[in-house]
Structure 1
Amino acid sequence: MSVLALRLAGPLQSWGASARFARRTTETAPTKSGVIGLLAAALGRDRSADLSDLAALRFAVRIDQPGTRLRDFQTAHHADTEKAMPVSDRFYLADAVFVAAVAGDDDLICTLHAAVRAPVYLPYLGRRSCPPQGPVDLGMRETGDPIEALKAEEWQASEWYRKQRRRDPMVTLTILGERTAGSRLGDTLRDQPVSFDPRHRRYTLRSVVSTSADVPNPNFSPPARTRRTPVPMPRHEPEALLSPMDGS
């Protein structure tokens, strides 16, 4: 079993799991359904194609740079009547960086690795309006555990963000993984993909557990030591303040 690591970074990202009607929210990290959709697009699969092999992949994601949540208002009109549709709220993550990992059969992971390096359809970060910043491929890892792979992955935050933490030799990063046998109960999220068919999209619940990893900071810069010159203490001479009396 192998792991494929992906760097998900861009000006804007949006990973919806429970968005409905005019309010399109985003999770704080990439969802499994969103990453599986990215991989299916890279393979060139149709939206109505079978997803069972991709949905069976084990998934985890690490938050390297949380970004900032943005809210956008969008308007639209019906094409036939020009009647205005309700104003919709769209939420995004700006300047965020994540590392996602999927684990599965060696042959499937090799196929996915080749696909993300030369995708049939261009990948996007949750929505088509959110292209990635640079290649998403970080390569394959031999370990079969996506969480362990993320614990060993280098910090992928932007250079300017890493410099803000240059006094910290290690950084603690949150990892969101899937619950396995024997692990504690986690939160539930409806983003286990069943079908991407636009006529009937289907998702089921999956359990998400949170852990953390301490990762070395490549921009660590210890504060410079300055040599202090000792200042001599003044001699205590209280009698020097006394004036001699006249006629003494």
Structure 2
Amino acid sequence: MPADPTPAPALAPDPTPDPGPQDEAQAVLVLRLAGPLQSWGDRSAFNRRDSRPQPTKSGVVGLLAAAAGRPREADITDLVGLRLGVRIDQPGTLLRDYHTVSDYRGQPLPQAGVNAKGVQKPTSPAKDTHVTHRYYLQDAVFVAAVQGPAALVEALAEAIRSPAFPLALGRRSCVPTQPIALGAVRDGTVEAVLAEEPWQAGEVAKAAYRRRAERGPEPFSPYRIDLAATFDDPSGDDTVQDVPRTFDPRERGFSTRRIRHAWLDVPTGLRSSATTVQPAAAIAGHDPFALLGW
């Protein structure tokens, strides 16, 4: 049968394309990261372990993974996908921990390389002492906010309150004070939540801020304070390499993320010199570090 020489009319495009799956509801978890010592390393070279001046995404994701009971080999794609914002409430000061390492038998130290039998080679020329430097932040307080799917964020909030593994501020030796989770999960964005969360600095810093306000006569309000913050932002003006691919020690690796720096006008929670601000730890219950002013 001969083909019809008249072509069929072309179909007009659908004026209402398929919207696809709806976005999940978002929620924000707010974390108070404070303790006598913190260390947020993003690189280590030989015998030196540095600390960045604020929490890294790797450190925050590691804390959440530990709370949720995930082993080091577990998939952390969902945690890495959370949007992070960090506010510096109390920057703290840098502490250098100086170490020397020697062999108790008086023998030269081995090097990292091994021979064909898998035995470490001796240092050449012989080296009797290794010098190491480890850096920490002392007396620092940060407020971190993570934003993501509400179901995941709710589960992480519950895990932070009843963690499966011990939590740490960058390194296992850096124990956090309580509370870590600041209240229930919030609606909105990390920017809005961090701008509304009251100042979490220690009582010593708050008392000094109140005295400065009462001295006058400079225009100064004890009720608000400007705090530096950084946010995950694909169009941000800075780049950091602190996004973990996995926590498996055999496959450790990091990728970069873009961040944006900003200043936030934050309520201090102060009222007057006659009003004592209740420490956050007192609200959560007993905290052995409360007397140190965190």
1:31 pairs, out of 53, 56, 59, with: 56
Q: Which residue of 1 aligns with 2:169?
A: 125
Q: Which residue of 1 aligns with 2:265?
A: 214
Q: Which residue of 2 aligns with 1:101?
A: 145
1:85 Cα offset (Å): 6.2
Moved more, 33-42 or 209-218: 209-218
Give the Cα–Cα distance (whole angstroms) in 2 for the partners of residues 79 and 207 of structure 1. Answer: 47
Residues 1:73 and 2:117 aligned together: no
Which secondary structure does the structure 2 equivalent of 1:215 belong to? strand
Mapping for residues 34-45 of structure 1, pairs under 5 Å: 34-45=59-70
2:229 pairs, out of 175, 189, 202, with: 175
Verify the 8 A CA contact 1:113 1:139 in the aligned structure 2. Answer: no
Q: Which residue of 2 aligns with 1:188?
A: 239
Residues 1:57 and 2:111 aligned together: no
Give the Cα–Cα distance (whole angstroms) in 2 for the partners of residues 101 and 77 of structure 1. Answer: 43
Q: Which residue of 1 aligns with 2:9?
A: none
Give the Cα–Cα distance (whole angstroms) in 2 for the partners of residues 220 and 75 of structure 1. Answer: 49
Verify the 8 A CA contact 2:225 2:267 in the aligned structure 1. Answer: yes
Give the Cα–Cα distance (whole angstroms) in 2 for the partners of residues 165 and 118 of structure 1. Answer: 34
Give the Cα–Cα distance (whole angstroms) in 2 for the partners of residues 78 and 178 of structure 1. Answer: 45
Question: What runs of 5+ residues in structure 2 fail to find an aligned partner?
Answer: 1-25, 110-127, 214-220, 274-294
Verify the 8 A CA contact 1:6 1:139 in the aligned structure 2. Answer: no
Q: Which residue of 2 aligns with 1:18?
A: 43
Map Cα deviations across residues 76-131 of structure 1 (whole Å, 9 max, x no partner): 45799883662211111100000001011111011101100000111100011100
Give the Cα–Cα distance (whole angstroms) in 2 for the partners of residues 72 and 46 of structure 1. Answer: 29
Q: TM-score, normalised by structure 2?
A: 0.70
Give the Cα–Cα distance (whole angstroms) in 1 for the partners of residues 43 and 238 of structure 2. Answer: 14
Amino acid at match of 1:94: Q
The aligned length equals: 219
Change (3 A) 1:15 1:106: same
2:159 pairs, out of 115, 124, 130, with: 115
Give the Cα–Cα distance (whole angstroms) in 2 for the partners of residues 77 and 112 of structure 1. Answer: 43
Larger radius of gyration: 1
1:215 Cα offset (Å): 1.4
1:212 Cα offset (Å): 1.0
Residues 1:92 and 2:115 aligned together: no
- Tell me which stretches of 4 or more aligned residues in structure 1 moved more than 6 Å: 78-82
Give the Cα–Cα distance (whole angstroms) in 2 for the partners of residues 47 and 16 of structure 1. Answer: 18
Which secondary structure does the structure 1 equivalent of 2:45 belong to? coil
Q: Which residue of 1 aligns with 2:250?
A: 199
1:143 Cα offset (Å): 2.4
Give the Cα–Cα distance (whole angstroms) in 2 for the partners of residues 79 and 143 of structure 1. Answer: 57
1:220 Cα offset (Å): 5.0
Verify the 8 A CA contact 1:163 1:219 in the aligned structure 2. Answer: no
Amino acid at match of 1:102: V
Aligned-residue CA RMSD (Å): 2.0
Moved more, 71-80 or 59-68: 71-80
Change (3 A) 1:194 1:154: same
1:30 Cα offset (Å): 0.4
1:140 Cα offset (Å): 3.4
Map Cα deviations across residues 8-36 of structure 1 (whole Å, 9 max, x no partner): 00000000112222111111110111000
1:137 Cα offset (Å): 1.0
Question: What runs of 5+ residues in structure 1 fail to find an aligned partner?
Answer: 223-248
- Identity over aligned residues, as a percent? 47
Moved more, 94-103 or 161-170: 161-170
Moved more, 79-88 or 15-24: 79-88
